[in-house]
Chains A and B, each alone.
Chain A
Amino acid sequence: MRKIRDLLTGKIENIRRERISNTTLLMTITVCTFFGMYLLAMAIWKGGFLNPQQFLDLFNNNAYLLIIACGLTMVMISGGIDISGGGITALVTMVCVVYLEDHGGTVLGSLLISLGIGIAFGLVHGILVAYFDIQPFIVTLAGMFFARGMITIVSIAPRTASQEAFLKLKQARITLPGIGYYGKNGNFIPAQIEPGVVVAVAVVIIVAVLLKWTRFGRNLYAIGGNSHSALTLGINVKRTKFFAYLIAGLLSGIGGYVYLLHTGAGDAANAAQAEMQAIASNIIGGTLLTGGVGNVIGTLFGMLSLKTITNIVIASGLTKPYYQSITTGLMLCFFILLQSLILAVREKGRVKLLPDWMRLRKTNRTESQ
């Protein structure tokens, strides 16, 4: 009755406050964890963590990963997966270096080549997944194998770019005004970022806008949530999926060029396991592999958390490489379990930590059986 009265008096909005969506909730947790972790590290280890350059180096060293992960976010929201990112990145670096060195290429030409490679992979993946209805895991796995194999066909030995125009672009740094640190002599050293970081941040903003405010972005969420309902609502499921893979491929190509700008070398071992790190960034950032839930801002903070934990492990004196991957595994485990619990609580309203047979007190359902 009160509901009707409120409805009549126009106070309906005050009864039920809108629930926070899964996407926003998972993203908020990631952002809070990252800031908590970083502030804790600043308080305990001080030193490098107080240096703004070390924070910016997270971006400098991982700009390519961020770009690949953004493409992957779109694919994962649509309910698919793309594990070819690392392979395409490595292929782009090798082809561009060989083009610059052996064929007298220009910077613009190499940029176009990297975009072309990315689009070509994305096109094939998109057609095979969307229109031929083949499992995305297999398609992109074959894409990864193909890219990794092609690198050694292009050149077996690792190559380094030495073209002047390219080196100029590679060594370009953007100085951030007002941010910096004091060196040992007391002189002020301003913080710097690489051009790749600007590209990465631009990609994050563009993808975020695309997902939030365009029809294509909303269609992606609809498809990932339930592709049958999306189809009955009149959404072109196949075309939307196709474009998701196309954009993911394109972003992998851009990521490859950014990687090249960072290292300046083409090598078959480049960007090893970048695809798995990208998936891990997405998971920590709250994107679910089942689709329909996720946010590119979460991916950004997922990547930052993943790399910050490595820095913390090194800072705390555990310098052996295996500690880093074990800690990464533990962190993934923590986030995966946390998300699973949160979603379970939100769906059922109660936590199911133990299976029924492990409980001391039987639940109602087992009693009734």
Chain B
Amino acid sequence: MGDGIKKFMRSQLVIPLFSLFLLVIFNLLRDPEFFSISLATNNQGYRVLSGNLISIFNGAAAIAIISIGMTLITSCCKGQDISVAAVAAIAGSVFVSVLRSHEITIPVIILAFLLSCLVSVLFSLFNGVLVAVFKIQPMIATLILFSAGRSIAYWINGGATPTVSSDFLASIGGFIPGIPIPTPIIIMVVFLVLISIVLRLTTLGLYTQVVGINEGTAHLNGINPVWVKLIAFIISGVCVATAGCITVCRIGLINHETLLLDAEMDVILAVAIGGTSLGGGKFSLFGSVIGAYIIQALTVTLYAMKVPSAAVKAYKAAVIILIVIISSPVVKEFFINLYKKLFKKQVDAKIPIKAS
């Protein structure tokens, strides 16, 4: 039992779970009804789940999906991809332009999704080649698409913000008739499970960490770092395309300027809060997803406290700094030392009593 607790305290999930716990407690104290879930009837006449908890999970779906890909890139490339939101805008634009040129049926939606995946993977691979083959720091390499990506989306859309509407798309972005859980949550869970299974069953997860911890050693052990990095970028490309398409389905139009605006910053924060070092190495997909939920829970809490939407960023920054300070190695060491001191004093105090 004691060993289990010690092992848990040392794992990467302590800080994210602890901060999520604090947020939950804070919300329960503020409003005991905050997390209540109720069955309500929505506009289309289906009975669906509603409540703050559902809106947190639903709202964080896109960020959580992107954070899965970002975790892998962070782990093996020791850097972050800041072009994810711009690439998502490109993928969304491709998705919409295919849908608008055909009648919207399920096969067409699948075709459009696959095409947007392909485009997004190609752009991701462009980043990947710069990072893996030319050995450029990821942040610098992705700065190119960060500055040019949304303009490419603008070019695909022809400068307009085209809309698409169909019952199929509404059910992807909202609810499938008969199922009370929002579809983005289901897609997110399926994605997380699939990628975790792939990483667990194959050696890819291990290789990713090894390349991140020491590239030279990985090379000497017969792992090709270039391939591992490229695969991470390919997975990230698929994640980004999925997130872009979900967001397009949810709002029913593509606006290249505002689609997933500032999402790259939220995603990187999610990865950092989730316990993955931004300097590469060991990663935790589960932690990153929890990190995304923490950020969304924070946003929903602030909205519930009637904070104006533009000012949310300031409060968010303050809480994030607090979380990062608590989880920083210096503070951790301080607390461990403090604990040891207190523990030692107890031992010292006990011995004379026993002797006497």
**Residue numbers in B under 8 Å from A131 (CB-CB):** 330
Report if B50 contacts A (CB, 8 A). no
**Docked pose: A75 CA to B199 CA in angstroms:** 37
Q: Specify which of B144, B315, B321 is in contact with A336 (CB 8 Å cutoff).
A: B144
**Are A153's CB and B311's CB within 8 A?**
yes
**Residue numbers in A under 8 Å from B284 (CB-CB):** none
Interface residues of A in 260-286 (CB under 8 A from B): 268, 276, 279-280, 283
Report if A43 contacts B (CB, 8 A). no
Report if B324 contacts A (CB, 8 A). yes
With CB as the reference atom, state the residue of chain A lying closest to B150.
A325
Report if B176 contacts A (CB, 8 A). no
**Docked pose: A141 CA to B226 CA in angstroms:** 29
**Residue numbers in A under 8 Å from B252 (CB-CB):** none
Interface residues of A in 322-358 (CB under 8 A from B): 322-326, 328-330, 332-333, 336-337, 340-341, 344, 355
Report if B325 contacts A (CB, 8 A). yes
Binds B, one of A142-150, A207-215, A242-250: A142-150
Q: Specify which of B147, B265, B312, B314 is in contact with A325 (CB 8 Å cutoff).
A: B147
Interface string of A71-88 (1 = CB under 8 A from B): 000000000010000000
**Docked pose: A320 CA to B141 CA in angstroms:** 25
With CB as the reference atom, state the residue of chain A lying closest to B322.
A142
Report if B231 contacts A (CB, 8 A). no
Which residues of B line the A interface, CB within 8 A?
A: 80, 130, 133-137, 139-141, 143-148, 150-152, 154-155, 159, 226, 265, 268-269, 272, 277-279, 308, 310-318, 320-321, 324-325, 328-331
For the complex formed, measure the closest distance between the CB of A268 and the CB atoms of chain B, giving whole angstroms: 7
For the complex formed, measure the closest distance between the CB of B141 and the CB atoms of chain A, giving whole angstroms: 7
**Are A329's CB and B278's CB within 8 A?**
no
Binds B, one of A3-11, A25-33, A132-140, A229-237: A132-140
For the complex formed, measure the closest distance between the CB of B341 and the CB atoms of chain A, giving whole angstroms: 21
**Are A128's CB and B314's CB within 8 A?**
no
Report if A321 contacts B (CB, 8 A). yes
Which residues of A line the B interface, CB within 8 A?
A: 81, 128, 131-135, 137-139, 141-146, 148-150, 152-153, 156, 268, 276, 279-280, 283, 288-290, 320-326, 328-330, 332-333, 336-337, 340-341, 344, 355
Residues A322 and B155 in contact in the complex (CB < 8 Å), given A145-B314, A149-B311, A156-B310: yes
> Can you pick out 11 interface pairs between chain A and chain B where the beta carbons lie within 8 Å of each other?
A141-B265, A149-B310, A149-B316, A288-B137, A289-B139, A322-B151, A326-B151, A326-B155, A340-B135, A340-B136, A355-B133
Told that A137-B268, A280-B147 touch, could you supply 4 new A-B pairs with CB distance under 8 A?
Answer: A133-B330, A146-B313, A152-B308, A328-B148
Q: Specify which of A150, A283, A326 is in contact with B140 (CB 8 Å cutoff).
A: A283
For the complex formed, measure the closest distance between the CB of B102 and the CB atoms of chain A, giving whole angstroms: 26
**Are B321's CB and A139's CB within 8 A?**
yes
**Residue numbers in A under 8 Å from B268 (CB-CB):** 137-138, 141
**Residue numbers in B under 8 Å from A290 (CB-CB):** 137
For the complex formed, measure the closest distance between the CB of A72 and the CB atoms of chain B, giving whole angstroms: 13
For the complex formed, measure the closest distance between the CB of B321 and the CB atoms of chain A, giving whole angstroms: 5
**Are B317's CB and A325's CB within 8 A?**
no
With CB as the reference atom, state the residue of chain B lying closest to A138.
B272
For the complex formed, measure the closest distance between the CB of A134 and the CB atoms of chain B, giving whole angstroms: 5
With CB as the reference atom, state the residue of chain A lying closest to B154.
A322
**Docked pose: A156 CA to B320 CA in angstroms:** 23
**Are A336's CB and B140's CB within 8 A?**
yes
**Residue numbers in B under 8 Å from A137 (CB-CB):** 80, 139, 268, 278
Residues A329 and B310 in contact in the complex (CB < 8 Å), given A128-B321, A149-B315: no
**Residue numbers in B under 8 Å from A322 (CB-CB):** 151-152, 154-155
**Residue numbers in B under 8 Å from A148 (CB-CB):** 313-314
With CB as the reference atom, state the residue of chain B lying closest to A153.
B311
For the complex formed, measure the closest distance between the CB of A174 and the CB atoms of chain B, giving whole angstroms: 33
**Residue numbers in A under 8 Å from B134 (CB-CB):** 336-337, 340-341
**Are B278's CB and A132's CB within 8 A?**
no
**Docked pose: A289 CA to B317 CA in angstroms:** 24
Residues A145 and B313 in contact in the complex (CB < 8 Å), given A135-B279, A329-B148: yes
Residues A329 and B145 in contact in the complex (CB < 8 Å), given A141-B269, A283-B140: yes
**Are A134's CB and B143's CB within 8 A?**
no
**Docked pose: A146 CA to B319 CA in angstroms:** 10
**Docked pose: A133 CA to B332 CA in angstroms:** 11
With CB as the reference atom, state the residue of chain A lying closest to B132.
A355
**Docked pose: A144 CA to B321 CA in angstroms:** 12
Q: Specify which of A132, A149, A355 is in contact with B317 (CB 8 Å cutoff).
A: A149
With CB as the reference atom, state the residue of chain B lying closest to A329.
B148
Residues A145 and B328 in contact in the complex (CB < 8 Å), given A138-B278, A152-B310, A337-B134: no
**Docked pose: A206 CA to B147 CA in angstroms:** 30
**Are A134's CB and B147's CB within 8 A?**
no
Name, among B137, B141, B313, B329, the residue most crowded by chain A CB atoms within 10 Å (CB to CB): B313
Residues A133 and B328 in contact in the complex (CB < 8 Å), given A283-B143, A329-B147: yes
**Residue numbers in B under 8 Å from A323 (CB-CB):** 151
Q: Which 10 A-B pairs have the closest CB atoms?
A: A149-B314, A329-B148, A149-B313, A322-B151, A146-B317, A152-B310, A145-B317, A142-B317, A325-B151, A145-B313
**Residue numbers in B under 8 Å from A132 (CB-CB):** 325, 328, 330-331
**Docked pose: A153 CA to B307 CA in angstroms:** 10
**Docked pose: A194 CA to B135 CA in angstroms:** 41
**Are A332's CB and B147's CB within 8 A?**
yes
**Residue numbers in B under 8 Å from A289 (CB-CB):** 137, 139-140
**Residue numbers in B under 8 Å from A329 (CB-CB):** 144-145, 147-148, 151
**Residue numbers in A under 8 Å from B152 (CB-CB):** 322, 326
Q: Specify which of B135, B143, B151, B226 is in contact with A280 (CB 8 Å cutoff).
A: B143
**Docked pose: A323 CA to B148 CA in angstroms:** 9
With CB as the reference atom, state the residue of chain A lying closest to B149.
A329
**Residue numbers in A under 8 Å from B136 (CB-CB):** 336-337, 340
**Are B313's CB and A336's CB within 8 A?**
no
With CB as the reference atom, state the residue of chain A lying closest to B130.
A336
